[in-house]
Structure 1
Amino acid sequence: MCGRFALTATPEEVKELLALLEIEDFPARYNIAPTQPILAIIAGDATEPGSNLPTRKALLIRWGLTPSWVKDPREFPLLINARSETAIGKASFKVAMRHRRILIPASGFYEWHRPPKESGEKSQAYWVRPKGGGLVAFAGLMETWSSADGSEVDTGAILTAQSNEKFMSIHDRMPVVIAPEDYERWLDCRTQEPRHVTDLLTPPDEDLFEAIPVSDLVNRVANVGPELQVRIDAMPVPAPKAKKKTGGNDDGQMNLF
């Protein structure tokens, strides 16, 4: 799951990573929450001068996907995440998977380790960022919802996958990250059908991120400063649980859900 993330890079850094021709200025954001505007990157119609590659455009969309067929968003659940394993077949996501795949630049995301209530332990928030800093691009989906009066709202969701083994001890889901060399294929909805890009919908490499324990300030949307990402003294990241040995044949296959 991804319920909060941050984009603290400069517009120039985002422009360089995503190979954008232009981008409007924006402030650093340390606590991006559902229903707020988020930056999305889409494939453009034109091609770059001297290249056959289509241009990429940056736009703001609302975090929380609303399918075009929804009549009243107030009566529809807020879809901030989409499970990558089932998005191709889900009514809410399958059209976007075919026609409106996007990239969502991020400096990292927040996640909470919530132990069982009977353990008596408190929940611990983590700031999960690329080791050494930098930017990543989450795989995302976009839909444009139109109201009865003709007004339109661009909305989106972040695709998630089962966590890699290192992160599993914090949470069982994490955002799908698209590598720079795969940006073009992911965004190309003209020639690349969903079945052609499912190989990209995998957990991030275990060496990509580091999890930093932080305070519970991130729980409040009103808190938007860099203090949200300051490391605190806390219990170390729980070690992944060892698999229990069982008798008979064990094919090592894990349950995705």
Structure 2
Amino acid sequence: MCGRYAATADPDELIEAFEVEVDATAETSRSVLVNPQSPPAGTPDYNMAPSKMAPVALTRVPRAAAGEQTAETDPVRQLRLLTWGLVPAWAKDPKVGLRMINARAESLLEKPAFAKAAAARRCLVPAEGWFEWQASPVARDAKGKPRKQPFFMHRGDGDQLGLAGLYEFWRDKSAADDDPAAWVVSFTIITTAAEEGLDRVHDRQPLVLERSLWQDWLDPTLTDPDEVRAMLDSPGPGRFEAYPVSTAVNATRNNGPHLLERLPDDLLEGVVNPATGEVLG
């Protein structure tokens, strides 16, 4: 966790929801994908997976275009397309990002891969919700292993989620100085212990920040570890709802609004209701 989520809003909606000042989604950075991204980066994606480029909100000083001067010195809130899977600046190969799609809140400030980014390169990952797979306590699959049922988690009030994240810049030293594709700009999603109810699906969940914390979380001048640590506490249970969805989400090639449709109870087999603990099917 978190290994899949739904990023269903378009850039215009995100610019309004996250009070973005600069739309930087057109800025060039390198993709780590072998094949073209589908759906294209920056368009609604109902099955966002690691290595894809996703919309991310962050605050930093805008970069001047090649050959241009800028008098801008104050950081501004931007919307950018970043690669999911953090690639630290010191990494020898961007493939390391596949092992860093998540960062645990409990050890965030101590891990060398995340500590510097936690101090000054924090971001928000917009999402409608996230997917997680529940291992059945009673049902088995064809291989005799616990049957896994995908669930979709979202805010009960329907509000946009701001998942706490970190971002980094990695440069391919073999590329030319003026090659914009030399840079991989990547992010990771911070996870924490799952709240009551959601822990019946999985023991971890993304850290979802309340809007009241967005300004401080994105502030690159807020670098005190204790202040950062204080924002890593979950506000407690009650914000989210979870319901089962089709196993179509298991395959990353599948996409579309149908992936978020609730699976009827009569199609469930050995599934634990997150709210009640009752075994269904």
| TM-score of the two chains, using structure 2 as the length reference | 0.76
1:147–1:11: structure 2 CA closer, same or farther, 3 Å change rule? Answer: closer
**1:190 counterpart SS class:** coil
Task: Tell me which amino acid in the other structure corresponds to 1:237.
Answer: N
Deviations 1:26-62 (A, max 9, x none): 422100000000111111338xxxxxx9530011111
Shifted more, 226-235 versus 156-165: the winner is: 226-235
* 1:152 CA displacement: 1.1
Distance in 2 between the 1:240 and 1:69 partners?
Answer: 47
Match for residue 178 of structure 2? none
2:4 paired residue number: 4
Asked if the contact 1:169–1:240 (Cα under 8 Å) also holds between the matched residues in 2, the reply is: no
2:100 is the counterpart of 1:79: yes
Aligned to 2:250, which of 219, 236, 246? 219
Cα distance 1:240–1:196, how it changes in 2: closer, same or farther (>3 A)? farther
Residues of 2 paired with 1:75 and 1:190: CA distance?
Answer: 28
1-side partners of 2:207 and 2:158: how far apart? 18
Residue of structure 2 in register with 1:137 after alignment: 162
The alignment's C-alpha RMSD in Å is: 2.2
Structure 2 unaligned segments of length 5 or more: list them.
27-41, 63-73, 141-145, 176-181
1:201 to 210, 232, 242: 232
- Are residue 237 (structure 1) and residue 258 (structure 2) matched? no
Residue of structure 2 aligned with 1:36, choices 32, 49, 52 = 52
Residue 146 of structure 1 and its aligned partner are, at CA, apart by: 1.1
Q: CA separation in 2, counterparts of 1:106 and 1:130? A: 10
Does 1:27 find its partner at 2:4? no
Check if 1:64 corresponds to 2:85: yes
Q: Which residue of 2 aligns with 1:172?
A: 203
Structure 1 76/208 Cα, relative in aligned 2: closer, same or farther at 3 Å? closer
CA distance 1:76–1:7, change in 2 (3 Å): closer
Q: 1:201 to 1:225 in 2, by over 3 A?
A: same
Change (3 A) 1:154 1:209: same
Following the alignment from structure 2 to structure 1, what is the Cα–Cα distance between the partners of residues 240 and 100? 25
**Matches of 1:208 and 1:191 in 2, distance apart?**
27
Equivalent pairs, count: 234
- Separation (CA, whole Å) in 2 of partners of 1:54 and 1:148: 27
Q: 1:76 to 1:231 in 2, by over 3 A?
A: closer
Residue 192 of structure 2 corresponds to which residue in structure 1?
Answer: 161
Deviations 1:52-80 (A, max 9, x none): x9530011111001111111234675210
- The offset of 1:112, in angstroms, is 0.6
SS in 2 for 1:57: strand
Q: Which amino acid is 1:109 matched to?
A: W
What secondary structure does 2:200 align onto?
coil
8 Å CA contact 2:193, 2:205 repeated in 1: yes
